[in-house]
Amino acid sequence: MKLDVLLGLQWGDEGKGKIVDVLTPEYEIIARFQGGPNAGHTLEFEGKKYILRSVPSGIFQGNKINIIGNGVVLDPALFKGEIESLEASGHDLRKRLLISKKAHLILPTHRLLDACYEAAKGDSKIGTTGKGIGPTYTDKISRNGLRIGDILYNFDEKYTQAKNKHLKILEQHGYDTGKLAEIEKEWFAGIDKLKTFTFIDSEHYINNAIKQDKKILAEGAQGTMLDIDFGSYPFVTSSNTISAGACTGLGIAPQQVGEVYGIFKAYCTRVGSGPFPTELFDETGDNLRKYGFEFGSVTGRPRRCGWIDLVALRYAIMVDGVTRLIMMKSDVLDTFDTIKACTAYEINGEKTTEFPFEIDDNNIKPVYVEMKGWQTDMTKMRSESEFPAEFNAYVSFLEKELEVPISIVSIGPDREQTIIRK
Ligand code: GDP
Ligand code: IMO
Ligand code: MG
């Protein structure tokens, strides 16, 4: 049995959480492979809404095993908050959530360093989520990190050593560390909570499960255009969000990967700084934000909105090896009379369909194809036979441009508002 991967193809917030939840009944194990509490994955069902940050989105459908893989970075304080709110709503995860000993810990000083580096960047700041993601992955790569497994051996000593290194850097920047003691208190309470969970050698666990023919779904966070290698660098996150990240983030070999589900919105959004060639600054952009309720689930920041970018999408499909596409938030376009799709970029008068190295919004002119909107409320539809002709034309156009079938269409935030295409 192969492991399937599900990931975002744009700049995050494509709707990964919702679809992982929808697909969970088909799987026995759901595993997050990268990112941390910079993620906010929203699920809605039975009139309730949940936002998950570090916990995989497979926890609500049956008693499936959920794994936080080695590629993830975990903040114990935020993890405790997330677990407690799930417990309060009747979801006890202790037996169903397993955590890799090799996942890295986000320390309180990583959070301070994140804020400190952003402040030092001034106008060129990344617009991070402020959760300490970059500094934690930096320590992982520079071999200074602390891992979940470290909690079990000489932890206080290791913690103090790491903290002192960070304090030196913060001091050099003249950064105020006055809040540290307060953050540390919450953090250590988080460590106590974390210790009530089972830590595993997740690479062994997952490979044994593959041998036993168990069905596994790997859940990505962020999106391909935020990938550390292939995204719009330096305005990216600090992990490999692409499908290869599932191999390094879970310890599985490339030939174990089966389907790669690529998720995209019927338009496009981005939160934080960085290039976004199809961004709209007009009323259409405002309407996408309004109808799509495009505000960050973690930070509440308004998301930047624009038309779908097929240059970036084709690139994402290429580096991820996507085998099936899932189109989200189709209903957000329900009232538009015209819909545009960017099929190429014009750079210095030359047209290109390849995503370029240099992505300077001032220098890139998106080339658009216009289509007639369907102007029909799709939110209550339950089968593809009900789809309006203009919507089918949009889907066919995208499939032709992207050369991958669109297997699922989402027409609202609820679990039920999901249509599998035959
Ligand atoms: P994720 O980070 O990829 O899991 O996505 P987020 O949860 O951050 O953002 C997606 C948002 O869109 C959430 O508020 C979802 O409830 C919502 N959503 C998901 N699918 C649909 C859809 O098809 N239509 C609409 N209108 N909202 C959706
Ligand atoms: P989900 O999983 C959207 C963005 C931040 C910032 C950049 C770097 O919900 O799709 P970081 O804190 O990771 O160092 O910030 O990446 N970003 C996201 N944008 N969705 C996310 O996650 C994101 N996680 C990080 O806004 O621009
Ligand atoms: Mg999100």
383 Cα to the center of ligand 1, angstroms: 20
Strand 48-52 with 41-45, pairing: antiparallel
Cα–Cα distance, 413 to 41 (Å, whole number):
12
Residue 41: active-site member:
yes
Residue 13: active-site member:
yes
Q: Locate 318 and state its tokens.
A: 């290429």
The number of the ligand 2 atom at minimal distance from the alpha carbon of 13 is 10
| 4, 21, 41, 227: the active-site residue | 41
Q: Are 53 and 298 in contact (CB under 8 A)?
A: yes
Which residue has 């300490």 as its token pair?
A: 132
- pLDDT tens digits, one per residue of 303-328: 999 999 999 999 999 999 999 999 99
**Residue 289: CA count within 13 A, CB half-sphere:** 18
- Name every protein residue with a CB atom under 6 angstroms from any ligand 2 atom: 8, 11-13, 35, 38-41, 126-129, 131, 133-134, 221-223, 226, 237-238, 271-272
Ligand 1, atom 21, residue with closest C-alpha:
413
Pocket test of ligand 1: the residue of 32, 43, 328 to mutate, having most ligand atoms within 8 Å of its CB, is 328
- pLDDT tens digits, one per residue of 117-133: 999 999 999 999 999 99
Q: How far is CA 15 from CA 77, 112, 309, in A?
A: 25, 29, 17
CA-based torsion, 72, 222, 143, 112: positive or negative: negative
Chain centroid to CA 57: 11
What pLDDT is recorded for position 50?
96
Among all ligands shown, which has an atom nearest to the Cα of 41?
Answer: 1
What pLDDT is recorded for position 362?
85
Cα–Cα distance, 371 to 327 (Å, whole number):
17
191 Cα to the center of ligand 3, angstroms: 25
- Name every protein residue with a CB atom under 6 angstroms from any ligand 1 atom: 8, 12-18, 39-42, 44, 292, 297, 328-329, 331-332, 410-413
The number of the ligand 2 atom at minimal distance from the alpha carbon of 41 is 9
Ligand 1, atom 18, residue with closest C-alpha:
413
Ligand 1, atom 13, residue with closest C-alpha:
42
pLDDT tens for each residue of the chain, 422 residues long: 899 999 999 999 999 999 999 999 999 999 999 999 999 999 999 999 999 999 999 999 989 999 999 999 999 999 999 999 999 999 999 999 999 999 999 999 999 999 999 999 999 999 999 999 999 999 999 999 999 999 999 999 999 999 999 999 999 999 999 999 999 999 999 999 999 999 999 999 999 999 999 999 999 999 999 999 999 999 999 999 999 999 999 999 999 999 999 999 999 999 999 999 999 999 999 999 999 999 987 778 899 999 999 999 999 999 999 999 999 999 999 999 999 999 999 999 999 999 999 888 889 999 999 999 999 999 999 999 999 999 999 999 999 999 999 999 999 999 999 999 98
Cα–Cα distance, 242 to 188 (Å, whole number):
32
11 Cα to the center of ligand 3, angstroms: 10
The number of the ligand 1 atom at minimal distance from the alpha carbon of 44 is 16
Q: Which one, of 373, 172, 363, lies nearest residue 288 by Cα?
A: 373
Which residue has 């600054």 as its token pair?
A: 281
Q: Are 17 and 418 in contact (CB under 8 A)?
A: no
Cα–Cα distance, 34 to 240 (Å, whole number):
7
What pLDDT is recorded for position 417?
98
What pLDDT is recorded for position 172?
97
299 Cα to the center of ligand 3, angstroms: 10
Ligand 1, atom 27, residue with closest C-alpha:
413
